[in-house]
């Protein structure tokens, strides 16, 4: 990692000052779920931060998995990332249009494959625009490069891992809305049962963000939010959500408060809720 690495979060001011750094690659990693009717790639073409490229989490994914955006194997990840013009000397800065929603998954994917020179624009495009950041329609394609992953970290949880953790009463934290977690609110994934993984706790991802700027809350507030969820952050955690996207916001927040013993359940409720062989709790 570069000695100039600014950390997992960068401010709009930092990005403004470093917008034209030679080793910087800014990626728009926006995801819109089908029920929003929005197309992230089309929106990128209409407006984006200068020098940014589109990081398609639907494409940089496991082609064999019927569920969308599931983690690709190391070879696919390296090939796809290299094709975007990213190599092992690149500082990747990810953002998304809602502020912080899907960009954290880019940070997690790179960390999973041992690459740490990745940051997230705090507040994303929302905060960038609030501060008068430049917006463009001009495309800035990059020449393909070679990206290599040396290791795979233990940051991924699969269905059997989660089932075992649930049966043993281990710490599982769900990032969905309280209504979806309780089963009182319709789920966004057709065919998924209402409710949550037995013995899991709930911390809605948006409660970790400032409601207007969409920036991550200060560390003391993050610690308070985790405490209020009933989870013990000193224990290893499994983080889950609807489809493996917003769980990465929980991971980023934990990283910010110095907690690194966590794994992302990639299948999340999109997988668990559809599988009738798996147990579900509901407060509905």
The number of folded domains in the chain is 2
pLDDT at residue number 251:
98
Confidence of residue 188 (pLDDT cuts 50, 70, 90): confident
Predicted structure pTM score: 0.96
Tens of pLDDT, residues 11-30: 999 999 999 999 999 999 99
Confidence of residue 187 (pLDDT cuts 50, 70, 90): confident
**Same-domain pairing of 117 and 178:** no
**Same-domain pairing of 106 and 198:** no
Torsion, Cα 272 35 76 10, to 10 degrees, reads -100
Q: Which of 199, 1, 245, 229 lies closest to 104, judged by CA?
A: 245
Query: Considering the domain boundaries, does residue 216 fall inside one?
Result: yes
pLDDT at residue number 36:
87
**DSSP classification of residue 70:** P
Query: Considering the domain boundaries, does residue 284 fall inside one?
Result: no
Whether residue 150 has pLDDT greater than 90: no
Beta strands in the chain (DSSP E): 9-10, 24-28, 52-54, 91-95, 118-121, 156-157, 171-174, 201-202, 237-240, 262-265
**Same-domain pairing of 116 and 163:** no
**Same-domain pairing of 86 and 179:** no
Distance separating alpha carbons of residues 26 and 91, to the nearest angstrom: 8
Q: What is the mean pLDDT of residues 87-105?
A: 97
Query: Considering the domain boundaries, does residue 148 fall inside one?
Result: no
CATH number at residue 198: 3.40.250.10
| Residues known to be catalytic | 241
Whether residue 193 has pLDDT greater than 80: yes
pLDDT at residue number 8:
97
Whether residue 2 has pLDDT greater than 90: no
Instruction: For residue 26, give its domain range.
Output: 9-130
- For residue 244, give both structure tokens: 């493996």
Whether residue 1 has pLDDT greater than 70: no
Confidence of residue 205 (pLDDT cuts 50, 70, 90): very high
| Percentage of the chain modeled with pLDDT above 90 | 93
Distance separating alpha carbons of residues 148 and 77, to the nearest angstrom: 9
Distance separating alpha carbons of residues 111 and 106, to the nearest angstrom: 9
Q: Which of 44, 81, 32 lies closest to 61, judged by CA?
A: 81
Query: Considering the domain boundaries, does residue 43 fall inside one?
Result: yes
The three-point CA angle 232-238-242 to 5° equals 120
Q: What is the mean pLDDT of residues 251-259?
A: 97
3-state secondary structure of 196: strand
**Same-domain pairing of 125 and 169:** no
Residue 120 and residue 9 in contact, taking contact as beta carbons nearer than 8 Å: yes
Whether residue 144 has pLDDT greater than 80: yes
Query: Considering the domain boundaries, does residue 277 fall inside one?
Result: no
């Amino acid at each position: 990692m570069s000695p100039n690495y600014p950390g997992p979060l960068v401010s709009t001011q930092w990005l403004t000052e470093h917008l034209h750094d030679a080793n910087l690659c800014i990626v728009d990693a926006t995801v819109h779920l089908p029920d929003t009717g929005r197309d992230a790639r089309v929106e990128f073409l209409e407006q984006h931060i200068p020098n940014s490229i589109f990081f398609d989490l639907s494409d940089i994914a496991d082609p064999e998995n019927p569920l969308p955006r599931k983690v690709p194997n190391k070879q696919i990840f390296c090939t796809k990332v290299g094709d975007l013009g990213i190599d092992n000397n690149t500082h990747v800065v990810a953002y998304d249009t809602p502020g912080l929603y899907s960009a954290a998954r880019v940070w997690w994917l790179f960390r999973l494959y041992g690459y740490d020179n990745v940051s997230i624009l705090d507040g994303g495009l929302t905060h960038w625009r609030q501060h008068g950041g430049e917006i463009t329609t001009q495309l800035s394609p990059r020449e393909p490069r070679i990206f290599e992953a040396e290791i795979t970290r233990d940051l991924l949880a699969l269905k059997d891992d989660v089932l075992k953790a649930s049966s043993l009463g281990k710490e599982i934290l769900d990032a969905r809305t309280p209504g979806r977690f309780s089963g009182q609110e319709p789920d966004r994934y057709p065919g998924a049962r209402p409710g949550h993984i037995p013995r899991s706790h709930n911390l809605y991802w948006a409660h970790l963000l400032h409601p207007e700027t969409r920036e991550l809350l200060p560390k003391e507030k993050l610690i308070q939010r985790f405490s209020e969820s009933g989870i013990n952050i000193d224990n290893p955690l499994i983080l889950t959500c609807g489809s493996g996207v917003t769980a990465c916001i929980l991971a980023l927040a934990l990283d910010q408060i110095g907690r690194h013993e966590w794994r992302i359940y990639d299948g999340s409720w999109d997988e668990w809720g559809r599988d009738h062989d798996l147990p579900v709790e509901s407060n509905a």
